[in-house]
Amino acid sequence: MSPNETLFLESTNKIYKDDISSSSFVNFQIWDFPGQVDFFDPTFDYEMIFRGTGALIFVIDAQDDYVEALGRLHLTVSRAYRVNPEINFEVFIHKVDGLSDDHKIETQRDIHQRANDDLADASLEKLHLSFYLTSIYDHSIFEAFSKVVQKLIPQLPTLENLLNIFISNSGIEKAFLFDVVSKIYIATDSSPVDMQSYELCCDMIDVVIDVSCIYGLKEDGSGSAYDKESMAIIKLNNTTVLYLKEVTKFLALVCILREESFERKGLIDYNFHCFRKAIHEVFEVGVSTPWTGSQVAGTPCTKAVTLNGTPRSTV
């Protein structure tokens, strides 16, 4: 939904489970917890919940007094760590759209310092927290979720290496491997991610799907807006070209390159064919590997837990 529509969402008042494995490359569940969950309540089976969790995302409202939320954060991560030390602990400092740039940095520094001091006091220095500034009014929330999901994909180093080889032999400046439905990028090359470039690529996917829904379906409305024939080229007025190609039914490769480099489109397409074949081989190996859970496209079934640091803060 659009950010403006979220104004009418009610606060989370019970545990809400969302399974997104059916329409997405990444096969996982999100368990959304209300901020007022009492982990000391004997009816709360936190061992069952945290035992199979891949990532725990704790959401702190940056526009609110976060002292109480930091206490809940410490209680939550310390308990979860004792049950499952393999969990990735992520902290989303959310609703930063209402803060100035200086205030954002100061808030992140303060939360980072206090949270780590609490862990040090409890002799939990080995527990690592990652911090992200997020908002629903830009792409920062997608960027943060991309970083979280990448930690849950065992094939990530291989994917990054394939992307590095592909762009270095094709004259491409930047490439993202996108999950088409969620706009999460599951991998990118080793060059730094520029938020503006990422937003352009997200917008391109929206344009391609919207146009395909109008012109790409059959007369009776059957077919798919995204299939193996999906491809798009967008030329910007600053001599930059955006190039999208279908990789799997869930994944798209979106590249950013200069117009002069795109003149060698034949070479790029040949290299893409090799890249696409390698991607399919990577996940065929993943499917044949005996994971202890159900799989989609070679990724293990993973559970991500989202906890809201304040009762009115929702994601």
**Per-residue pLDDT, 142:** 92
Q: How confident is the model at residue 124 (pLDDT cuts 50, 70, 90)?
A: very high
208 confidence band (pLDDT: 50, 70, 90): very high
Band of residue 228 on the pLDDT scale cut at 50, 70, 90:
confident
H helix runs in the chain, sequence order: 46-51, 67-83, 101-121, 140-151, 156-168, 195-215, 259-262, 265-288
Is residue 129 pLDDT above 70, yes or no? yes
Q: Which tokens in the block code for residue 135?
A: 């908002």
Tell me the C-alpha to C-alpha distance, in Å, between residue 165 and each of 27, 198, 277: 27, 20, 14
Chain mean position to CA 103: 25
In contact, 173 and 256? CB cutoff 8 Å = yes
Mean pLDDT of the chain: 85
- What pLDDT does 23 receive? 65
CA distances from 9 to 2, 13, 135, 304 (A): 12, 12, 16, 21
CB count within 10 Å of CB 101 equals: 8
Q: Give residue 224's pLDDT band: very low, low, confident or very high (50, 70, 90).
A: confident
Does 109 score more than 60 pLDDT? yes
Question: What is the secondary structure of 267-295 as a DSSP string?
Answer: HHHHHHHHHHHHHHHHHHHHHHS--SS-E
How confident is the model at residue 277, as a pLDDT? 95
Report the b/e string of 191-222 with b at 16+ CB within 10 A.
Answer: eeeeeebbbbbbebbeebbeebeeebeeeeee
pLDDT value at residue 232: 95
Instruction: Check residue 292 and give its pLDDT.
Output: 36
Give me the mean pLDDT over the 41-61 stretch: 85
* Position 170 confidence tier, pLDDT thresholds 50, 70, 90: very high
Kindly tell me the burial class for residue 278, based on how many C-beta atoms sit within 10 Å of its own C-beta (0-12, 13-18, 19 or more). Answer: middle
pLDDT per position as a tens digit, 293-308: 333 333 334 455 555 5
The predicted pLDDT at position 271 comes to 97
| CB-based contact 131:187 (threshold 8 Å) | no
Reported confidence tier of residue 2, pLDDT bands at 50, 70, 90: confident
The residues facing 150 across adjacent strands are none
pLDDT at 32: 86
Task: Show the tokens assigned to 50.
Answer: 């945290």
Of 38-52, 76-90, 130-144, 239-253, the one with minimum mean pLDDT is 38-52
pLDDT for residue 106 is more than 90: yes
Encode pLDDT of 185-200 as tens digits: 999 999 999 999 999 9
